[in-house]
Chain A
Amino acid sequence: MVDIQNMSFGYRRHSPLLHKVQLSLSRGHIYGLLGKNGAGKSTLLKNIVGLAFPQAGQCLIDGVSAQRRLPSMLEEVYFLAEELYVPALTAAQFVANTAGFYPRFRQEELTRYLHEFEVPAHAVLSKLSFGQQKKFMIAFALATNTGLLVMDEPTNGLDIPSKAQFRRIMASALTEERCMVISTHQVRDLDSLIDTVVVLHDGQIALNHSLDQLTDQLTFATLPTTDTTPVLYAEDSVRGRQAIVPNATGAYSRVDLELLFNAATSGSSTLLPYLKQPSYAQPV
């Protein structure tokens, strides 16, 4: 669905924020885009949807350059920005004037999502709280049923129950026809939601693996502080050493996204090279 080829971008010509990024995103997946503050997550998303133009390389959506912003392409894309704009219209007026642009929009789905999010369906949008506005726009974005749904920090401004609702609704809205990309720096918000982790670091894609691949190759474990087992990455915590070790037995362990993210962005010299090796070459 999304094909990024050797894409470079910078707000100043000689200091690129993104450098020769290569990334392919397919339908039927929920991607979690992780990165530190200022890593360029939002910039990458804007390039994906055609709001920013690459200085080199290109971003394609279904084979069409995103920066052309063709209506036929935009009908297949919904981008939910971190900072929202809602007009001074009621939800019903907004839907009446906007839904028609999206051929696969479903009113009954919007009604269901709004009910689950507990957002009043007849309120004036600009009068709602930021969290309520965000939930309305998430519900609308999902109801458009676009092939590509890109969300930048969607959980910012949501309270704790709403974050759980968000994860539940997002998971229920994924179909084989749909590609969802969620960017966040709050790694825990993506727990049990995403199926592929993409980490952006130092202007490049440092990691792009499905959770299945990660659990096949890695074990996330808490080791006693005295344990001297060789690890790919470890952090000391009050519970012991939070460690990532090669999965020698093929046993399942839950991916600790925060630990994985820290490992990918810490400059660890062992984890990323290990993941890049073909599985037959990995020492067991």
Chain B
Amino acid sequence: MDELILKLKKEVIEQLNLEETTPDDINPDSPLFGEGLGLDSIDALELIVLLEKNYGIKIEDPKDGKKIFFSIRTMAEYITEHKK
């Protein structure tokens, strides 16, 4: 899990152009949106693309997004459960 969390942090930084952020700056349990990394709605769409492109996981119900993308850890758990 720790390996996947680090990989995800790097992918999120690259995909969302978080230029001034390093993996160490991201607490895997902190919220990604709002107070956390301050991501916006376009970033949310970008994370959906990331899951599909890098892990082959398609989110069928958009309502699940809030739970899946709460933090890096929730993303990692979802990937572990659903990776094809």
Physical interaction between A and B? no
B residues with a Cβ closer than 8 A to A are: none
Interface residues of A (CB under 8 A from B): none
